[in-house]
């Protein structure tokens, strides 16, 4: 199935300082949440900005950031992954869980509590059992979808009934012009009681897609979507 959505993950975004209190990790967590909200809206409280940040963070840059980070939707949770101090600077890394994957928000604070750096990057995915076979299946299904010929023995009965001739033809029409993919990279893995959802970023010469693969507990394909990242 093809379904549209804006970029799953923000590309590396770095800017200069925002003002904030650094009284402790609790206040820094509140800051991390606030900065995410501001980045998603593209509207920063410029009374919090240093003059350098205000000059560097143009409205066009804020709008671009909102287009990327805003597409992630509502955060499900924040967890402090790391805290490192070097000289006068302290870097906090928060792992933010979203419905479609995880993002690391990194904030660098100076001694006065002002933000000296801010990044949103895809969180690394730790390798787990089953990743290799899932990746192989994702590649196989992608090529089958491009050709418009799905091996229905791989699918659950429910998904098989949903993949009618018109749906498979539509997938092929969307994917075939992309050509051969150069890379598949695992963006996230979410395990639930009824199975596992894998998100892969698939790169082409001039485009990028997200392949979402859902496997039930028996290893059957219970869901399959292809989404352009732009």
Asked if residue 152 and residue 198 are part of one domain, the reply reads yes
Q: CB–CB of 187/9 below 8 Å?
A: yes
pLDDT level of residue 213 (50, 70, 90 thresholds): very high
156 and 210 both lie in a single domain = yes
**Pick from 122, 143, 176: which residue ends a domain?**
122
Has residue 12 been placed in a domain?
Answer: no
- What are the CA-CA distances from residue 191 to residues 52, 119, 147, 149 (Å)? 43, 27, 30, 28
Give the helix, strand, coil percentages of the chain, each rounded to 5.
35, 35, 30
Average pLDDT, stretch 136-155?
A: 97
On whether both 141 and 107 belong to a single domain, the answer is no
Please check whether residues 35 and 84 belong to one and the same domain.
yes
pTM of the predicted model as reported, rounded to 2 decimal places: 0.57
Q: Are 115 and 136 part of one and the same domain?
A: no
Which pLDDT score is estimated for 1? 59
Distance CA 219, CA 43 (A): 44
Same domain, 185 and 210: yes
* 6 domain residue, yes or no: no
Q: Which domain holds residue 191?
A: 131-228
Tell me if 32 is assigned to some domain. Answer: yes
- What pLDDT is stored for residue 182 in this prediction? 94
Structure tokens at 152: 């229905």
Average pLDDT over residues 1-5: 46
Burial class (CB in 10 A: 0-12, 13-18, 19+), 109: buried
- Establish if 2 belongs to a structural domain: no
Evaluate if residue 177 carries a pLDDT over 50: yes
Last residue of a domain, one of 122, 150, 182: 122
**What's the pLDDT score for residue 49?**
66
Alpha-carbon gap, residue 230 to 87, rounded angstroms: 40
Q: What is the pLDDT of residues 80-119, one digit of tens each?
A: 999 999 998 899 999 998 876 788 998 888 888 787 878 8
Q: Are residues 114 and 150 in the same domain?
A: no
Give domain status of residue 180, yes or no: yes
Same-domain check for residues 218 and 180? yes
Question: Among the three residues 122, 142, 163, which one is the final residue of a domain in this structure?
Answer: 122
| pLDDT computed for residue 4 by the predictor | 41
Q: DSSP labels for 113-147?
A: SBEEEEEEEEPPPPP-TTHHHHHHHHHHHHHHHHH
Give the helix ranges, DSSP H, for the chain. Answer: 25-41, 51-56, 59-69, 131-147, 157-162, 165-175
Residues 186 and 159 in one domain: yes
CATH code for position 138: 3.10.450.590
Count of domains forming the chain: 2
Q: Are residues 68 and 115 in the same domain?
A: yes
Shared domain for 68 and 147, answered yes or no, is no
pLDDT of residue 50: 66
pLDDT of 120-145, one tens digit each? 888 887 788 889 999 999 999 999 99
Number of Cβ within a 10 Å radius of residue 59? 10
Please name the residue that has the structure tokens 């990790």: 25
Q: What tens digit of pLDDT does each residue of 22-74 get? A: 345 788 899 999 999 999 999 987 776 667 777 777 889 888 888 888 888 89
pLDDT band at 3 (very low <50, low <70, confident <90, very high): very low
Residue 35 lies in a domain: yes
| Mean per-residue pLDDT over the chain, rounded | 84
Question: Is residue 84 helix, strand or coil?
Answer: strand
In a domain, 65, yes or no: yes
Give a yes or no: residue 102 inside a domain.
Answer: yes
Reported for 95-103, long-range contacts at CB under 8 A and 24+ positions apart, including other chains, are 95/123, 96/36, 98/72, 98/73, 98/74, 99/73, 99/74, 100/8, 100/72, 100/73, 100/188, 100/199, 101/8, 101/9, 101/187, 101/188, 101/199, 102/188, 103/9, 103/10, 103/72
Structure tokens at 133: 């076979």
Same domain, 149 and 216: yes
Q: Is 77 exposed, middle or buried (0-12, 13-18, 19+ CB in 10 A)?
A: exposed
pLDDT at 227 over 70: yes
């Amino acid at each position: 199935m093809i379904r549209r959505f804006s970029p799953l993950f923000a590309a590396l975004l770095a800017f200069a300082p925002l003002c904030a209190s650094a009284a402790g990790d609790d206040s820094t967590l509140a800051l991390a949440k606030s900065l995410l909200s501001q980045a998603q809206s593209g509207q920063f409280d410029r009374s919090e900005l240093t003059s350098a940040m205000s000059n560097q963070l143009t409205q066009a840059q804020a709008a671009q950031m909102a287009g990327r980070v805003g597409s992630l939707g509502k955060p499900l949770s924040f967890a402090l992954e790391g805290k490192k101090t070097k000289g006068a600077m302290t870097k906090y890394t928060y792992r933010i869980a979203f419905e479609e994957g995880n993002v690391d928000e990194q904030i660098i604070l100076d001694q006065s509590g002002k933000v000296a750096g801010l990044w949103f990057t895809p969180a690394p995915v730790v390798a787990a059992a089953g990743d290799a076979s899932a990746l192989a299946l994702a590649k196989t299904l992608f090529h089958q979808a491009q050709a418009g010929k799905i091996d229905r023995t791989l699918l659950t009965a429910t998904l098989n009934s949903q993949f009618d001739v018109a749906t498979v033809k539509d997938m092929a029409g969307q994917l075939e012009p992309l050509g051969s993919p150069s890379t598949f990279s695992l963006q996230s893995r979410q395990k639930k009681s009824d199975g596992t959802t894998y998100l892969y970023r698939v790169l082409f010469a001039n485009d990028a897609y997200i392949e979402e693969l859902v496997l039930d507990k028996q290893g059957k394909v219970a869901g399959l979507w292809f989404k352009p990242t732009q």
